[in-house]
Chains A and B, each alone.
Chain A
């Protein structure tokens, strides 16, 4: 069964460093999303991406965050200068249509 693949599974970074989280969507999927889940808290929407541009973003998705699909395959989330509070599980989700979202296994980001 096709699945959304996220790499790395766990990333440890120092505060202030840039990190890039990667997502390989299911083939032919056109809609892409990033969510985050701080430990013990609810899953929160960050951003949606379609047709090579951001469709919607939440208040969490400030100027420190960016997304792109540089090679038409990988979908990336970049955090420019990480803060301790960015430590969370980050989930990528993709869908072939806007009425669905298949989630990856997540990347656990730990900022130290």
Chain B
């Protein structure tokens, strides 16, 4: 069975500081990994995805994530956080033939202090 763990329920960072959101996954085959962002009352916006190749993937809004197979992790990073980054972030895992049938983590709520 596939699963995703986001260990941090809530993270607070100061504007301009760096950010890392953790994601650990469990999947029986080659995983397809995603990070989504959800602003309050809004839908899910895809930040980035990893299927294969370079393990460091670049996404929108200055985010990047690194796939580490040995650690079953896919952590999201941003070098300098902006106040507009405050939102909920979801990591998700799917398979090659059913990426749309993804399993989501519980989410991490990011608060940005001025």
Contacts and interface: CB of A to CB of B under 8 A. Distances in A.
Q: How large is the interface on A (under 10, 10 to 19, 20 to 34, 35 or more residues)?
A: 20 to 34
B contacts with A: majority SS: loop
B105 A42 contact: yes
A48 interface: yes
Residue among A6, A98, A108 with max Cβ neighbours from chain B (10 Å): A98
B104 A43 contact: yes
A98 B43 contact: no
Contacts of B42: 105-106
Interface stretch (B11-19, B64-72, B92-100): B92-100
Contact of A43 (B32, B45, B90): B90
Contacts of B85: none
B43 A104 contact: yes
Contact of A42 (B46, B100, B101, B107): B107
Contacts of A32: 100
A45 B103 contact: yes
B105 A93 contact: no
A68 to B, nearest CB: 17
A106 B100 contact: no
Given A43-B44, A43-B90, A105-B42, A95 B107 contact: no
A85 B96 CA distance: 32
Interface of B: 32, 36, 41-46, 49, 51, 90, 92, 94, 96-107
22 contacts: A32-B100, A33-B100, A42-B104, A42-B106, A42-B107, A43-B90, A44-B104, A45-B103, A48-B98, A55-B101, A91-B44, A95-B100, A99-B32, A99-B99, A100-B49, A101-B94, A101-B100, A101-B102, A102-B46, A103-B45, A104-B43, A106-B43
